[in-house]
Amino acid sequence: TEGAELVDQVLDVVRREAEGCDCLQGFQITHSLGGGTGAGMGTLLISKIREEFPDRMMATYSVVPSPKVSDTVVEPYNATLSVHQLVEHSDETFCIDNEALYDICMRTLKLSQPSYGDLNHLVSAVMSGVTTSLRFPGQLNSDLRKLAVNMVPFPRLHFFMVGFAPLTSRGGSSYRQVNVPELTQQMFDPKNMMAASDFRNGRYLTCSALFRGKISMKEVEDQMRNIQNKNQSYFVEWIPNNVQTALCSVPPRGLKMSSTFVGNSTSIQELFKRVGDQFTAMFRRKAFLHWYTGE
């Protein structure tokens, strides 16, 4: 296993970087849970960084194995082993799913042959949206910690669904202007979610909307209230005001305004259940196990 041998060198680099910071907010890790490196080495790194910096935020952008698009046969094993680590050591995990990304590229952006570049373009839009308030002054600065405070009702329930609006393809700028009602509408649309679970099968514990651009706060709050009133059954009633909005006046490049959606929904269990079922099917036959026990 290369991970265990490399982890000290990697931690050394992390330490040096952290020493150069004035006020270290936390760490963001992007990895996939299906492969060996992202799942094994990635989660090992998370637990080591956790030991060393126990009071800093740990946010992960995790690409979960998707039902139809699969790279390796042992994805369910890798994912199951690493989800355990994420539950214990991560503060916020943004679940991203290749299949949902492919769907967005094909259905919404009408790309017939999406490349990894197109998928990454979508993920980077969300990452940029979530970290806006760290990088720009805004009226409401919600940093990683504030996001977690507002989003995580119980420490283990920190797996979020993410979405972005307006969705544009790489290189193409949006030709039509969007307004706040359209942004909120798109943002809550299941087709815009980057994880293959449908929020209509569960309920939102909490969610957060990060708007960018020259937008009036009142309009945003009216729209969000509107959405909550219309879809009351999808929000749990035991957390009042469970939708948090943040605003940053600097829009992303090439757009007038955009919104990033982060939702903590109970329907994320579909995703774990799917991986769990695949895991059980293989584990029952002890298929491929020797690759893991041999280590």
Rounded Cα distance, 290 and 59, in Å = 32
Q: Which fold has domain 28-293?
A: Rossmann fold (3.40.50)
Assess whether pLDDT exceeds 70 at residue 295: no
- Beta carbons of 46 and 20 less than 8 angstroms apart: no
Task: Note the pLDDT tens digit of each residue in 160-195.
Answer: 999 998 887 766 655 567 788 888 888 888 888 898
Question: What is the length of the chain?
Answer: 295
Q: How many degrees, rounded to 5, is the angle at CA 44 between CA 41 and CA 45?
A: 85
CA 276 to chain centre: 20
pLDDT score of 57: 92
| Average pLDDT taken over every residue of the chain | 87
**What is the reported pLDDT for 176?**
63
Q: What's the sign of the alpha-carbon dihedral 151, 206, 227, 237?
A: negative
pLDDT number for residue 294 = 74
Structure confidence at residue 119 as a pLDDT band (50, 70, 90):
confident
Q: What is the pLDDT of residues 49-94, one digit of tens each?
A: 999 999 999 999 999 887 677 778 888 888 998 998 899 999 999 9
Measured CA to CA, the distance from residue 214 to residue 249 in angstroms comes to: 5
- In this prediction, residue 12 carries a pLDDT of 94
**Using one digit for the tens of pLDDT, what is the confidence trace for 204-219?**
999 999 999 888 889 9
User: Using CA of residue 168, residue 173, residue 176, residue 179, what is the dihedral sign?
Assistant: positive
- Global pTM reads 0.89
Q: Name the token pair of 84.
A: 């355990």
User: Could you read off the pLDDT of 223-282 as tens digits, one per residue?
Assistant: 988 988 888 888 999 988 888 888 888 888 888 889 999 999 999 998 889 889 989 998
The answer, yes or no, to whether the previous bond of 251 is cis (omega within 30 of 0) is no
Nearest to 28 by CA among 143, 153, 152: 143
